[in-house]
Structure 1
Amino acid sequence: MRVLLFTCVLAASLGMSSFTSAAKVEVAFEIPRIDTERYVFPYVAIWAENGRVSKPLLVWHLQKKEDEWLSDLRRWWRKIGRYDQHVDSMTGATKGPGHYTESFEINEWDTFKLYLEVSRQDGGHSLVKTEINTTDSTHHYHIPAEAEIGNVTVTVTN
């Protein structure tokens, strides 16, 4: 009887350990207004990486059948874009200058690198990243602005 009870408790605890709480990751960023003769809305990609594994989270692009400019998101293209046949599942149209906030759930990893890449057709390119630890007491991460992207704030809640 004790063996059966112990086995049931062990099985239940092992089963519950597979249920990890998903971390909600909120990414607030700005697309700055750039003074140029011909301004084209930028492409934006957000994804997470843990070692060699990548998880696509968002892509803003023109959404044409043959979108030749997606490869301008160079790191995203090398890691995810050229291999992913289902890129439309997380895409949206390009957006102009302004403040944006996007939320994602990451339940696969406790630590990962979060990437945000922005590129404009015939314009500039920016790639920013930060190491995220969902078990750490730090819940806000700040990434300084670059040419094509303003300040980025990442907020993690469990």
Structure 2
Amino acid sequence: MKDFRFLSMALGLAMTAPGVSAAELALSIELPRIDVAEYHRPYVAAWIEREDRSVAAQLSVWYQLDRPAPSGAAPRGESGTKWLPDLRQWWRRGGRDLAMPVDGLSSATRPVGTHVLRFDAGSRPLAGLEDGRYRLVVEAAREEGGREQLPIAFDWPPAAGQTLDARGRSELGAVQLQLTP
């Protein structure tokens, strides 16, 4: 019983110690309905850049994941990774250095709608993010479609709760960044 009290006191002190941040970043990405004859889900990447435009954190990349062919069937066509360079800025800013798939970062393309990603300061990819000024960048590219990139500037860690947003014109709808101290 004595050990348990000591452990709980130590845990309580650690959680209230200066410098321990419980900050959270929530990212909402809307993929709009596009009225075209042949619709392909967009590839989407989200990352955080420093002021010098170097990548501070990779948040997410959605692309066509390889699916195994049914047994006895001919192998499927090319790999979905072939088209990742179409996310031009993401590719140049670090995407080409990643071996896909990346656990916790990459996932399948998403359907039309609003998709929310949440990250907290104590976990990857924000765990090593130093105090400072950053830009969240969301980029989308679609086969037989266009490409679009939206930046949102913010300070980390947030001093107060805030919601920042940007609106796309074609491939992206509303992109919202919600910061909680």
Pairwise TM-score range, normalised by the shorter structure? 0.7 to 0.9
Q: Does 1:85 align with 2:108?
A: no
Match in the other structure for 2:3: none
Separation (CA, whole Å) in 2 of partners of 1:40 and 1:155: 28
- Deviations 1:87-129 (Å, cap 9, x if unpaired)? 5221110011111111123241333110111110121111001
From 88, 95, 111, the counterpart of 2:110 = 95
**SS where residue 69 of structure 1 aligns?**
helix
Can you give the 5+ residue segments of structure 1 that lack an aligned partner in the other structure? 1-15
- TM-score, structure 1 length as denominator? 0.80
Task: Give me the identity figure in percent.
Answer: 30
Q: Does 1:55 align with 2:78?
A: no
Regions of 4+ moved over 4 Å: none
- Deviations 1:7-28 (Å, cap 9, x if unpaired)? xxxxxxxxx66x4415311011
Number of aligned residues: 142
Can you give the 5+ residue segments of structure 2 that lack an aligned partner in the other structure? 1-16, 67-78, 121-125
Q: Does 1:120 align with 2:134?
A: no
- TM-score, structure 2 length as denominator? 0.71
Separation (CA, whole Å) in 2 of partners of 1:69 and 1:86: 12
Report the residue type matching 2:178 in the other structure. T
From 155, 162, 178, the counterpart of 1:139 = 162
